Amino acid sequence: MPSISEEAVQVIEEARELLTPSPAERERVASALRRAVERLSDALSDMGVEAIVEPVGSATRGTWLPGSVDLDLFILLPPETPGERLGCIAIEAASRAFGNCEVRYSSHPYARSRFEGLWVEVVPAYLVGSPSEIISPVDRTPFHSRFLSEKIDEELAGDVRLLKAFMKSLGVYGAEIAVEGFSGYLCELLVIRYSGFVGVLLDAPGWREPQTLYLPEAPPVGGYQPAPLIFPDPVDPRRNAAAAVGRTQFHRFRAACSQFLRRPSVQFFRGFVASVDRDRARRVVEERGTRFILAVFSGVSFPPDVAWGQLKSLRARVERELRETGFGVLDSSVWYSDRGYGALVVELTISELPPAEKRRGPPVGSPGEAPFLEKHLSARDTLGGPFIQGDRWFVLKRRRWTSAIDLFKHIVEVARPSSLRGARVSVYTDLGEILSLREEDLVRFLLSFILRREPFLEPS
C-alpha cells in the first residue's frame, strides 16, 4: 500500500474545512427537514392515508456537500396498498404539503417539490419488517439509511464528504446509467470499510477487478453478477451495492487516487475545469487526420435514465455496424442534457471505402460450393470472380455502403430508439460547424471527447 505525504495530508485537511457545511446551513437544513416531515405527515392525515414519513439520505447524517443538499422523504405504506396507488399517494401528498410537484419515475412514480429553497423528493415505499420482505426495490432504502446512521459519526461524515467531492470532481459519482459510477450509499460504505477517506485513497490504487470488499458483518455470499467491484450490501448481502460501477469508472478512480498521492491538489475536491480551447481541438484533429460525425437530437422528452440508456444502445449499434462494414472507428461517445438534447459522436480513421470488397467463400469441393457459385456468378453486384485462392472460393462484390456518413444516417434513422423517435435530428460532419454549435454544454462534451486527456492529470 502506498504511503501518504505530509503535503497530501495538508491538502486533505484544507479540503475537509472547505467541505464542512456552516452552522447556519446545518440549522437551515435541519429546520427545513423537520417542517417538511410535519407538512407531509399532515397532508397524508388529511388524505386519510395511514403511513409513516421517514427522512433518509445525506440530510439526516450531515454527509451532504455544502450548497448541494436535497431532502429525501419516504412515505412508508402498509404492504396491502396496491402498487398502482403508490405514485398517486406520493404525488397528491407532495402537492398538498408543498404546493408544487414534479412527477419523476423510478420503480414507480414519485414526487419532487420545492420547499424553503430546497428540493424535496417524496418517494412511496412499503413498510416491511426486514430487507428479506421487500416488495419494491426502494423498500431497502430506509434500512440503508438506518444502518448508515448507526455507523457514521461526525468525523466519518467529514470523510464521506471528502470522498463524495473527490469522486464528483472526477465524474465518477453517481450510480445512474449516465455515470455508471459510485452511489452515495457505496461512498459511505467505503468510508466505513476503511475507517475514513485516507484508507480508501491509499488502498484503491491496488484494487484489481474483480475486487471484493465487505464489512465484517456482511461477508460475500456468492451468486453476484460479474462486475469490476463487488461490495455486499450489509442490509442484504445477496445484493452487490457496487453493481452500477462500470469498468472505466472503476479504473479512473484507481488512477486518480494514485495521481493525487503523487501530486496532491485541492482541485481534486473542488472540481476540474474542462478545456474550451477550440483552436487546440482543431489542431489535434488535423494532426490525427480523422473524421467526425455528430448527430444531435433535440426535443427529447423521456426521463434521463431512459434517454441515456437508449443513446448508449444506439451508440453500440452504430459503432458495431460501422466496424463490420469496414470503416475505421477510433472512438464514439454519447451525451444528454436534462434540457432535452442528446448527441452521438463518432471519430473515424476511415470514412470512405472503394465499391469493391472481397468476400470469402466455401472450400473447393465442399457442399457449399455449388450454391455459392450459383448465387454469385450472375449476380448484379458481383464485380469479379468467383475465383480460387488456396483451397477456397472468393468473390468481389459491390459494397452496399461506401460512405460512413450515409451508413451513420441510415442507422440513426431506422434504429432510432423510442425515446428519440419524436426528436428532431441534425447530422454534422464539418468540425468547424460542430465546434460552433450554440449549446455550450454540448461543445464542452465534444472538446473533452476530442482532447481525451483525463482532467486529473493536470490539476490547476
The verdict on pTM exceeding 0.75 is yes
CA–CA gap between residue 352 and residue 380 (Å, rounded): 22
Q: Are 450 and 285 in contact (CB under 8 A)?
A: yes
CA–CA gap between residue 443 and residue 460 (Å, rounded): 21
Q: How large is the C-alpha radius of gyration of the chain?
A: 27
Q: Are 81 and 126 in contact (CB under 8 A)?
A: yes
pLDDT higher than 90, residue 338: no
Q: pLDDT tens digits, residue range 31-64?
A: 999 999 999 999 999 999 999 999 999 999 999 9
Pick the more confident residue, 365 or 300. Answer: 365
Find the length of the chain. Answer: 460
CA–CA gap between residue 423 and residue 172 (Å, rounded): 29
pLDDT at 86: 93
pLDDT higher than 70, residue 330: yes
The CA-atom distances, in angstroms, between 252 and each of 90, 171, 297 are 38, 9, 29
CA–CA gap between residue 237 and residue 454 (Å, rounded): 34
CA–CA gap between residue 345 and residue 449 (Å, rounded): 9
Domain limits, CATH 3.30.460.10, in the chain: 21-137
CA–CA gap between residue 40 and residue 122 (Å, rounded): 9
Q: Are 114 and 124 in contact (CB under 8 A)?
A: no
Q: pLDDT tens digits, residue range 268-286?
A: 999 887 667 788 888 988 8
CATH says 152-271 is which class?
Answer: mainly alpha
Tell me phi and psi for residue 299, to 5 degrees.
Answer: 85, 30
Angle at 459 between CA 432 and CA 21, to 5 degrees: 110
| 405's grid cell | 456518413
Q: Which helix (H) or strand (E) holds 359?
A: strand 356-363
pLDDT at 397: 95
pLDDT at 279: 85
Q: CA-CA-CA-CA torsion for 420, 423, 426, 432, nearest 10 degrees?
A: -90
Return mean pLDDT, the chain.
93
Q: Are 329 and 322 in contact (CB under 8 A)?
A: yes
Non-local CB neighbours of 427 within 8 Å, separated by 6+ positions: 293, 294, 295, 296, 405, 408, 409, 412
Domain limits, CATH 1.10.1410.30, in the chain: 152-271
What integer is the mean pLDDT of 206-225?
94
Q: Which parts of 19-82 fold into alpha helices (H)?
A: 23-46
Q: Are 157 and 61 in contact (CB under 8 A)?
A: yes
Angle at 376 between CA 372 and CA 377, to 5 degrees: 110
Q: Under DSSP, is residue 38 helix (H, G, I), strand (E, B) or coil? A: helix
pLDDT at 459: 53
CA–CA gap between residue 368 and residue 347 (Å, rounded): 39
Q: pLDDT tens digits, residue range 180-207?
A: 999 999 999 999 999 999 999 999 999 9
pLDDT at 105: 81
The percent of residues above 90 in pLDDT, for the chain, comes to 80
Pick the more confident residue, 107 or 384. Answer: 384
Report strand pairing: 328-337 vs 356-363. Answer: unpaired
What sign does the dihedral 56-61-65-71 (CA atoms) show? positive
Q: pLDDT tens digits, residue range 391-435?
A: 999 999 999 999 999 999 999 998 888 878 888 899 999 888 888
CA–CA gap between residue 273 and residue 446 (Å, rounded): 14
Domain limits, CATH 3.30.70.590, in the chain: 280-353+401-457
pLDDT higher than 70, residue 304: yes
Q: Which parts of 58-182 fold into alpha helices (H)?
A: 83-98, 141-151, 154-170
The CA-atom distances, in angstroms, between 101 and each of 20, 71, 95, 122, 384 are 30, 14, 5, 10, 67
Lowest mean pLDDT among 5-14, 223-232, 297-306: 297-306
Domain 280-353+401-457 CATH (choose: 3.90.1150.10, 2.60.40.3500, 3.30.70.590, 3.40.50.10420): 3.30.70.590
Within 10 Å of residue 147's Cβ, how many Cβ atoms?
21
What integer is the mean pLDDT of 253-280?
90
Helix 278-288 to helix 440-451 angle (10° resolution) is: 40
| Buried-state track 273-298, b at ≥16 Cβ within 10 A, e below 16 | eebeebeebeeebeeeebbbbbbbbe
Tell me phi and psi for residue 327, to 5 degrees.
Answer: -80, 145
Angle at 340 between CA 121 and CA 414, to 5 degrees: 125
Q: Under DSSP, is residue 54 helix (H, G, I), strand (E, B) or coil? A: strand
Give the CATH number of domain 21-137. Answer: 3.30.460.10
pLDDT at 144: 97
Q: Is 116 left (phi over 0), alpha (psi -120 to 50) or beta?
A: left
